[in-house]
Amino acid sequence: MMRSKIIFPALFCLAVALHGAEPSKAKSPTGDGEYHFHLGMNHYTGLGGKPNYAEAARQFQLAAAAGHARAQGQLGICLLKGRGVPRNHDLAVRWLTRAADKKDAIALYTLGNFHATAKDYVKANKYYLEASARGHAAAMNNLGTSHEHGYGVPANAKKAAEWYDNAARMNLAAAQCNLALMHSIGRGVPKNTERALKLYRDAAAQGDLRAQFLLGAALHFGTLGKPDRVEAAKWLQLAAHQGHAAARAHLAAVNNKLSPDQLKTVDKQVSTFMAGVTRSENGAIGTGFFVTNNGYLLTTHHLIAQAKSIEVRLRGVYHIAHLISADPLNDIAMLKIEADTPALPVMAGRILHAGLPVFTLGLPPRANANAGPKYSHGRVVSLSGLRNDPRHVQVNLNAPPSYSGAALVDASGQAVGMVTFRLADLKAYRATGTLPRAANYVLKAARIRDFLKTIPIIQSRLPRPNQPLPNEDAGAIAEAATVQILVQ
């Protein structure tokens, strides 16, 4: 049975050194909570420079002490999540309750999620209702789920549809998907396949994984009207790219029913969609790394999809790049520039293991022409990606979207993978300035080598994997082979 989607997002919170601080009525030195809250936000998001979480925490504490509701709520969220402070549910609830008493919608919604997780749905719905009254779309969606499945209230499909509709009108993708499912089967609302298709498309266009899969399945089998196997393959491929297990399992069978021309159309549509996610008004910026000494380099496919022009910045000089080959499903592409280039070997004959120290590097979007790459160090934390996707490993290093396409390198100076990003992570980065925890997914070296084998012209130019090197040598090899890519 298909279940509706209830939202428990990765909450936006601050790393605050409270050490057991209690809510109090003390005022900040200036008494200006709004000033301290926004100053804290500036430090947290790194406005004008790098984030300064310690100073952000200090400013938020001042704002919370001055009675600022949003700051109180954010401190509560941090305690609830154990981010930057020891997890303390009791103290978290007290801070959140103080903010909720002032009708802060985010605090009300967070308390609803807290009680729903504890399966106290009566309390959860109380807070969701108050948050909904203040325009919180996700709270409306969760109320819809409560009414649909009888969580804390008598099951009532009609009321569920009304709440989903309220949130869907606010363009919440999860609610659009939930309401589409109800229209598709006539649950709580009249059956309306035309509206179901529109709602699925609206949610899928926002990158909603579940909507993309359900829309693709409906179009393939014609359950909501005339089948459209080309559009079906597009949405299923996008869902598969984000790690949807069923989409990956059935994609080959779906594609087998398409002609070569139809497959080209699907690839073009997928490329256009993915390019729209990453490209800004001034073009897209990403990273790549050379794998031969005569200008062949790798990057992510979504970065260069539908590009009108591609430039590679090598040693401060911009070179025109040409697309040689691409694999949209695995999100990898090969480019070529006319230059002698350093090359980074791709790992072969070894197996990755959890805990392996790794690093990546890339150029920040606003780096000047002579700036060098910036490093980020971490470890392999999982040998599979989202939903156990075998194509990827997961790492705990900090890499912004401009590092998409960068090599993940180990101490031997070999590329053990390539950094990529899910669509949802890119949207989260744009919305908050930060990525969800453990959001870095890396395409495995084995997948990269499989792709390289499809390009005969480069085989004799690929460097052999290195023996272990001193850390400084591994860094020097990776830095020399890493370049910034600019796409228009």
How does pLDDT run across 91-128, given as a tens digit for each residue?
A: 889 989 999 999 999 899 999 999 999 999 999 999 99
Position 39 scores a pLDDT of 67
19 pLDDT more than 80 = no
CA distance 204 to 219: 13
pLDDT digits (tens, 9 = 90+) for 204-262: 988 899 999 999 999 999 999 999 999 999 999 999 988 899 999 998 899 999 999 99
pLDDT tens digits along 299-319: 998 888 777 788 998 887 888
Sketch the domain layout of the chain as residue ranges.
184-275, 282-488
DSSP string spanning 249-312?
HHHHHHHHTS-HHHHHHHHHHHHHHHHHHH-BTTBEEEEEEESSTTSEEEE-HHHHTT-S-EEE
Counting every residue written for the chain, the total comes to: 488
How many Å is the maximal CA-CA distance in the chain?
72
The pTM assigned to this predicted structure is 0.60
209: which 2 tokens? 């994984």
pLDDT of residue 243: 85
Strand order in the sheet with 296-299: 317-320, 310-314, 482-487, 284-290, 296-299, 332-336, 322-327
The Cα angle at residue 84 between residues 79 and 89, in degrees rounded to 5: 15
DSSP strand pairing (415-420 vs 310-314) = unpaired
Q: For residues 354 and 435, which has the higher predicted lDDT (pLDDT)?
A: 354
Q: Which residues lie across from 286 on neighbouring strands?
A: 485
Instruction: Report the topology of domain 282-488.
Output: Thrombin, subunit H (2.40.10)
Tokens representing residue 197 in the block: 């298709």
| 136: DSSP letter | -
Cβ contacts of residue 282 below 8 Å, gap of 6+?
Answer: none
- Residue 231: other Cβ atoms inside 10 A: 17
- Asked if 289 and 360 count as a contact pair (C-beta separation under 8 A), the reply is no
Percent of the chain's residues with pLDDT above 90: 48
Q: For 285-298, how does the pLDDT look when each residue is reduced to its tens digit (9 = 90+)?
A: 889 999 999 999 99
317, 232, 435, 327: which is closest to 304 by C-alpha? 327
User: What is residue 345's predicted lDDT score, i.e. its pLDDT?
Assistant: 94
Distance from C-alpha of 440 to C-alpha of 12, rounded to nearest angstrom? 18
- What's the pLDDT score for residue 445? 94
pLDDT value for 43: 57
Quick check: 453 pLDDT over 70?
A: yes
Rounded Cα distance, 365 and 429, in Å: 14
Asked whether 111 and 96 are in contact (CB, 8 A), the reply is yes
